[in-house]
Amino acid sequence: MREWRYLLNGSSLALDAETCIGCGSCVEVCPHDVFLVEAGKARIRDRALCMECGACSRNCPVGALGVSSGVGCAAAIIAGKRGLASSGCGCSTDSSSSCC
């Protein structure tokens, strides 16, 4: 299966091995198979596959994962810069872009 890589992917992903209890929640929610659990601890298998969606950190029961998440959508970022949308992706409401 193809593995997709993008600029700066996964640069903000941080895993605190001390805190991790190896429950595998991150493995269960990650859409790009970034994690694996080895010897009772989660490990980042391939950081460059991470799109920083935030699913893992939101579902980590012990707060061992941190990532600065947001939409990787150019139209939303441009709209945000022009003050059209306060934050995140406002594209579905103005339908100016196909994202979301």
Partner 1 sequence: MTFTRVSAKSLLVDPSPLTVPNERYVTGFVESSGRLTPRIGTRLGIADIAGAWRVRLGIGRGRYRVRPGLYAVGAPTPASAVLVTANYKLSFDELRKRLSGIDAWIVVLDTKGVNVWCAAGKGSFGTKELVERLAKLSLKEVVAHRIIVLPQLAAPGVSAVEVATASGFRVVYGPVRAADLPAFLESGMKKDAAMRTVRFGLADRAVLGPLELVHAWPLAGAALALALLSALPFSGGFGSRLSAISSVLIGSVVLGSLGFPILLPALPFRSFALKGAALGTVWGLAGSILAAARPLGGVSLVLASSAIVSYLGLNFTGSSTYTCQTGTAREVKLGIPAMITAAALSVLAGGISAFSRY
| Pick 40 or 93: Cβ nearer partner 1 | 93
| Pick 17 or 94: Cβ nearer partner 1 | 94
For the bound state, the minimum distance from the C-beta of residue 43 to partner 1, rounded and expressed in Å, comes to 15
DSSP label at residue 92: H
CA angle 24, 18, 31 (to 5 degrees): 30
Label residue 25 exposed, middle or buried (CB < 10 Å: 0-12, 13-18, 19+). buried
Tell me which residues touch partner 1 (CB under 8 A): 1-2, 4-12, 25, 27-33, 49-56, 58-59, 61, 68-78, 81, 88-89, 91-93, 95-100
